[in-house]
Amino acid sequence: MSARTSPARDLVYFVIFAAAVLTMPVWLAPIGAGYPDLLQKFAIYGLFATGFNLLFGLTGYLSFGHAAFLGVGSYTAVWSFKLLGMNPIPAVILAVVAAGIFALAIGFVSLRRSGIYFSILTLAFAQMSYNLAYSVLTPITNGETGLRVLRSDPRIFDAADGAEGALVSTLFGIEMNGYAGFYFCAVILIAGFFIAQRIFRSPFGIMLRAVKSNQNRMTYTGLNPRPYTLAAFVISGMYAGLAGSLLCITDPLAGAERMQWTASGEVVLMTILGGAGTLLGPLLGAGLIKYFENIFSAFNEQTLHSIFSFLPDFLETPVVGLMSLFVGEGWQLTLGVLFMIIVIFLPGGIMEGVSRLGRLFKGSDKPSAADKGRVEAAAE
């Protein structure tokens, strides 16, 4: 990595990235994704996947329980709204801290094992959290109904104002909905990306890649892999908590289903789709999945008919019939198929595809940076 990276280059990447994120409302509009609600989701899940990638992409430890940290972040944020007031900043900070502590506890235990056993341990902890949030922890989580901010809550710092109107978090008088909500998340995403970029380029980052590559050699090189993996686990848990709190910025509601293992599975899908171990991949994966979820699921037969209206009738009907399997309710089918294709043919995800294409055009056979960082799938 040191060969092809330089501070100047990273700065350029970072500036382009930041500019791209901030202008998303403009350039995503033509594909129908230019509305704040979806953009905010892109930013939040991008952050979630970026954090997950710091663990899985670098160390190769596949956690199937990251949704638990997302949930903890959400619950903490809502409690912060309830007790302290609707300012998102304490909510975000407290959520990161709470998720970090939670991740420290779970990581400390789970990291005693590696490989599939680690995956199952994290899965077990997340499922326990989910089940408990639904049942005995109801006083904290409000069970099935989900936790929301009520008018009667103390809200120490702003109980006086906002007697009427919808309950939305407010930063310096700006309500965090619509584009304000998106830009708040976008700024945090950019900060999160910056930190991830630094970790990738740091001595710590290379140690994490050493964990994935050869733990035995690492141990005999005078390095203890455990605190490295634990630190990565906690950091990625904090990212998840951060994402969880942002989910509550515009809609201050936290439900247990956010902790279910399918949600953990989703972030795995995002990271792999985009390209684990690359900086940009997880963000692409998150964007793609959220885009599918929102745009593809809204397609119906009529939209399809209008898209394929150029076809002669005898062709149009079967084509629309076939396509309708993959959109609307069936968007997850598209996702599943896409995911399988990626795992089978492009284990490095979209980023590997991009770099292969790039090489094709350039005609050079040098492996690119994206290729190098790719999931050479957990060295077990």
Partner 1 sequence: MDVFLLQLLNGLDKGGAYALIALGLTLIFGTLGVVNFAHGTLFMLGAFCAITFNKLLSLEQVRIDPEKLTPWGTPLEVREPYVEALLGDFGHWLLNYSVPASILLAIPVMAIIGFVMERGLIKHFYNRPHADQILVTFGLAIVIQEIVKTMFGANPIPQIAPESLRGAADIGLMLGTDPGVIVYPVWRMVYLVFAGLVIAAVFAFLQFTTFGMVVRAGMADRETVGLLGINIERRFTIVFAIAAVVAGLAGVMYTPILPPDYHMGMDFLVLSFVVVVVGGMGSLPGAVAAGFLLGILQSFASMNEIKDILPGIDQIIIYLVAVVILLVRPRGLMGRKGVMEN
Partner 2 sequence: MEILKVSGVNKSFGGLRALNNVNFAVEEGTVHAIIGPNGAGKSTFLNCMIGRLAPDTGTVMFGDISLTGMKPFEINQVGVSRVFQTPEIFADLTLLENVMIPTMAKRDGIFSLNGFRRLDRDAEVRDKALHMLEDVGLAEKKDMHSGSLSRGDKRRLELAMCLSQDPKLLLLDEPTAGMSRADTNNTIDLLKRIGDRGITKVIIEHDMHVVFSLAKKVTVLAQGTIIAEGKPEDIKGDPRVQEAYLGGAHL
**Does 6 engage in binding with partner 2 (CB under 8 A)?**
yes
**Does 304 engage in binding with partner 2 (CB under 8 A)?**
no
Cα-Cα-Cα-Cα dihedral sign, residues 78, 84, 85, 89: negative
Helices marked H in the chain: 7-22, 24-27, 36-59, 67-84, 88-110, 115-134, 138-141, 178-201, 203-213, 215-219, 225-250, 261-274, 281-295, 301-307, 313-324, 331-345, 349-362, 369-372
Q: How far is the CB of 10 from partner 2 (least distance, A)?
A: 8
**Does 112 engage in binding with partner 2 (CB under 8 A)?**
no
Q: How far is the CB of 38 from partner 1 (least distance, A)?
A: 22
Kindly indicate which of the ranges 89-97, 108-116, 160-168, 198-206 contains the residues binding partner 1, using the contact rule CB under 8 A.
108-116
Q: How far is the CB of 332 from partner 1 (least distance, A)?
A: 5
* Tokens of residue 8, six digits: 């100047």
Q: How far is the CB of 226 from partner 1 (least distance, A)?
A: 13
Whole-number Å distance between alpha carbons of 147 and 137: 11
**Does 5 engage in binding with partner 2 (CB under 8 A)?**
yes
Whole-number Å distance between alpha carbons of 243 and 240: 5
Q: Residue 117: which of partner 2, partner 1, none does it interact with, CB under 5 to 8 A by kind?
A: partner 1
Whole-number Å distance between alpha carbons of 274 and 238: 21
Whole-number Å distance between alpha carbons of 284 and 263: 18
Which 235-294 residues touch partner 2, going by CB under 8 A?
235
Which of 83, 223, 295, 311 touches partner 2 by CB under 8 A? 223
Q: Residue 166: which of partner 1, partner 2, none does it interact with, CB under 5 to 8 A by kind?
A: none
User: Of 36 and 237, which has the nearer Cβ to partner 1?
Assistant: 237
Instruction: Give the helix/strand (H/E) hosting 170.
Output: strand 170-171
Whole-number Å distance between alpha carbons of 298 and 104: 40
The span from the first CA to the last CA of the chain, in angstroms, equals 22
**Does 113 engage in binding with partner 1 (CB under 8 A)?**
yes
Locate tokens 């007697």: which residue?
Answer: 163
Which of 148, 343, 353, 356 touches partner 1 by CB under 8 A? 343
Kindly indicate which of the ranges 22-30, 122-130, 185-193, 213-221 contains the residues binding partner 2, using the contact rule CB under 8 A.
213-221
Kindly indicate which of the ranges 15-23, 306-314, 327-335, 366-374 contains the residues binding partner 1, using the contact rule CB under 8 A.
327-335
**Does 337 engage in binding with partner 1 (CB under 8 A)?**
yes
Instruction: Give the helix/strand (H/E) hosting 174.
Output: strand 174-175
Whole-number Å distance between alpha carbons of 269 and 275: 10
Instruction: Give the helix/strand (H/E) hosting 147.
Output: strand 147-148
Q: How far is the CB of 309 from partner 2 (least distance, A)?
A: 50
Which of 19, 20, 136, 357 touches partner 1 by CB under 8 A? 136
Residue 179 Cα to chain centre, angstroms: 20
**Does 230 engage in binding with partner 1 (CB under 8 A)?**
no
How long a stretch of residues is the chain? 380
User: Of 218 and 343, which has the nearer Cβ to partner 2?
Assistant: 218
Which of 55, 176, 210, 370 touches partner 2 by CB under 8 A? 210
If we measure between CA atoms, which residue out of 265, 322, 313 comes closest to residue 63? 265
Q: How far is the CB of 56 from partner 1 (least distance, A)?
A: 9
* Tokens of residue 238, six digits: 């904090």
In contact, 230 and 101? CB cutoff 8 Å: no
**Does 139 engage in binding with partner 2 (CB under 8 A)?**
no
Which of 43, 121, 243, 354 touches partner 1 by CB under 8 A? 121
Provide the binding-site residues for partner 2, judged by CB under 8 A: 1-7, 195, 198-199, 201-207, 209-210, 212-214, 216-224, 227-228, 231, 235, 367, 372, 376, 379
Provide the binding-site residues for partner 1, judged by CB under 8 A: 60, 62, 109, 112-117, 119-121, 123-125, 127-128, 131-132, 134-137, 261-262, 265, 268, 272, 325, 329-330, 332-333, 335-337, 339-340, 343-344, 347, 375, 377-380
